[in-house]
Structure 1
Amino acid sequence: MKIFTPTPIAALKETFSVSKSQLKNQTSNWHYHDQLELIYIKEHTGTRFIGDSVQRFVPGDLILIGAGLPHMWLNDSTLETQMPFLSNVISVHFEKTCFGDNFFKLPEMGAIHKLLSDANRVFTSVAKTAISIAHYMEEITNMNNFDKTLMLLKILKAISEEPLKTYLASYEFTSTYYEKFSTKLNKVYKLVMENFRSELTLEHAADEVDMHPSSFSRYFKKTTRRTFTAFVNEIRIRYACKLLVCDAEKSISQIAREAGYENLSTFQQAV
């Protein structure tokens, strides 16, 4: 497995970047960006993994992901078929200092400054504001540089004033992730997020970071305040819950297997 490193954004010739893109099946692996990322989902559905959050994504979703916060996307078509299926998205990548070190610290920018400071956990969707912002996201892709700058500020202002913002990644995850950031821990997170639907043992994780299983077990529990098995189960159960809610036609046994459990019995024990 490749070392967990930030996914680079194309070299910026502008203060921030705006792009339209398509997510194809499993091309979105566990990764992070050095910039903040604002994403608008135009079409298709699936599951998003942001930190330790496992949630559905649907058309109209608007998500603000903090710099350095790991995430990945899994289209529904990936689960049901192996046929390529594209999700159309509009994304904006920018740094907190894109307009200067102190711009967002100005008194007039107080609400936006707080939003960006909380962005390692913030997500907003559904509500009249989200509909307006979706329209702004469409417009910004066709604007010149000056108008794009004004529109980005307009978008951030609208999000900062939205009362229905919802936090995604848990405080426990973000505090551990940012305060105890290490290549070793990120290798483990990457291993789990990309392989939790298949057999995954403590020995697999220990081998990934070249540690003895017992030493790794102590390290992981001390660092994350939970056992490795408990962490894997948390991700699997959250994923299974999303499948139960969104795919009523599947049996519990089938969902258990898709979530990484060998059979219904092991799933019930974990729950």
Structure 2
Amino acid sequence: MKAIEVRFAKEIDKSFVVFRETGKYFPCPWHYHPEYEFVLVTKSHGRRMVGDHIGYFDEGDLVLMGPNLPHVWVNDESFINGGAAYDADAIVIHFQENFLGKEFINIPEMETLKKILDLSRRGLVIQGSAREKIGKLMVKMMTMNGLQRLAALMSIFDLLSQSQELELLASPGYTPRQEDQLKGPTDRINEYIMLNFHREISLQEIAGVSNMAVTTFCNFFKNQYRCTFIEYLNQVRIGLACKLLANEQNKIVQVAYEVGFNNLGNFNRQFKKIKNMTPREYRKRLDTQLEEDSIFFNEAYIVNE
């Protein structure tokens, strides 16, 4: 899926935009834009794609994305087919780096925030107490006047600057430049994988999406991705499984089925092949290195990459 550039209407009496996105499902396609963006999901659940990251969102999910970072929120099927008991709902803030003047971002008081905004070019999930406090402010901003909204945004910046509970999304090597956007057959291939990785995808099926014969598709895919389609699909699935395994409430067998493996044995084999350890060993390693990883992130998140 080729990301499209979206330009949002600007209001002449406002330096930044706050709006509510509501409906049966979130309608935006895979897209990017020059503004920074906060997205707070107040209702709905599904999958979100940010850069080369694929993850899940639920109520309360809060993400900050930097300029020109491709992204899309895909509601679960019950919302898309009208079976959900309620509409999807989110609150969104758009602002540009120079919305308060070209020198604003460079004043001393903005130093820590500036580093976090740099990291947001990979996408940041905001967690913990900062998510709760920022979420409440975003809800209140919907009924605030101009000066109140500006003060609330400054409070959000302050909370963000102090937070140490931030999760990076897109990989370190991902660069959101327009010339990097996928073109041609890879558009349809990438879109189909991202939206259907959780179920079985046959070679005949994905080749048909690409308008190619199976043999042609296999040769094309290996040339483009330097691996077979099945190998790539398993890498996507195992990558998501690692994130789900970090939550101790997720049972290993549940994770296996959730990311698209139809039996636990195959999940364990593929996981060990890609990660050189079993899912259980991976989870134990997460537990034993939690403190070390936390220290590393606390140092890393305030350093420009």
Same fold (TM over 0.5): yes
What is the CA-CA distance between 1:131 and the residue it aligns to? 2.0
Shift of 1:268: 6.3
- Give the whole-Å Cα distance in 1 for the aligned partners of 2:29 and 2:229: 21
Shift of 1:10: 3.2
Task: Please say if residues 96 and 116 of structure 1, whose CA atoms lie closer than 8 Å, have aligned partners that are also in contact.
Answer: no
| Distance in 2 between residues matched to 1:181 and 1:123, nearest whole Å | 21
Letter in 2 for 1:181: D
Matched position secondary structure for 1:21:
strand
Where 2:100 maps in the other structure, the secondary structure is: coil
Query: Are 1:10 and 2:16 an aligned pair?
Result: no
1:97-122: CA deviation from partner (whole Å, max 9, x where unpaired)? 22233321222211121111110234
Where does residue 224 of structure 2 map in the other structure? Answer: 219
Alignment of 1:122-201 (within 5 A): 122-172=123-173, 174-175=174-175, 177-178=176-177, 181-184=180-183, 187=187, 188-196=189-197, 197=199, 199=201, 201=203
Q: Runs of 5+ in structure 2 lacking a partner?
A: 272-305
Question: How many pairs were matched up?
Answer: 258
- Partner amino acid for 1:163? Q
Q: Percent identity?
A: 26
2: CA distance, partners of 1:230 / 1:7? 33
Deviation at 1:11, TM superposition (A): 4.0
Is residue 97 of structure 1 aligned with residue 102 of structure 2? no
SS of 1:199's partner is coil
In the other structure, the counterpart of 1:119 is 120
Q: Distance in 2 between matches of 1:44 and 1:137?
A: 17
Letter matched to residue 34 of structure 2: D
User: 2 CA distance for matches of 1:26 and 1:135?
Assistant: 21
Aligned CA distance change for structure 1 residues 227 and 157 (closer, same or farther; 3 Å) = farther
Distance 1:73 1:243, change over 3 A: farther
Shift of 1:135: 1.9
The answer to whether 1:21 aligns with 2:26 is no
Match of 2:88 in 1: 87
Between the aligned partners of 1:32 and 1:200, the Cα distance in structure 2 is 30
Q: Indicate how the Cα distance of structure 1 residues 156 and 83 shifts in structure 2: closer, same or farther if over 3 A, else same.
A: same
1:35 alignment counterpart:
35
Tell me the CA shift for residue 66 of structure 1.
Answer: 1.9
Residues 206 and 216 in structure 1, CA contact (< 8 A), matched pair in contact too: no
- Report the TM-score, using the length of structure 1 for normalisation: 0.74
User: Which residue of the partner structure matches residue 111 of structure 2?
Assistant: 110
Q: Flag structure 1 segments of 5+ consecutive residues without an equivalent.
A: none
Over the aligned positions, Cα root-mean-square deviation in angstroms equals 3.9
Query: TM-score normalized by structure 2?
Result: 0.67
Alignment deviations for residues 53-101 of structure 1 (CA, whole Å, 9 cap, x no partner): 3333233332102222222223345389751442221110112222233
**Contact residue 41 and residue 58 of structure 1 kept, 8 A:** yes
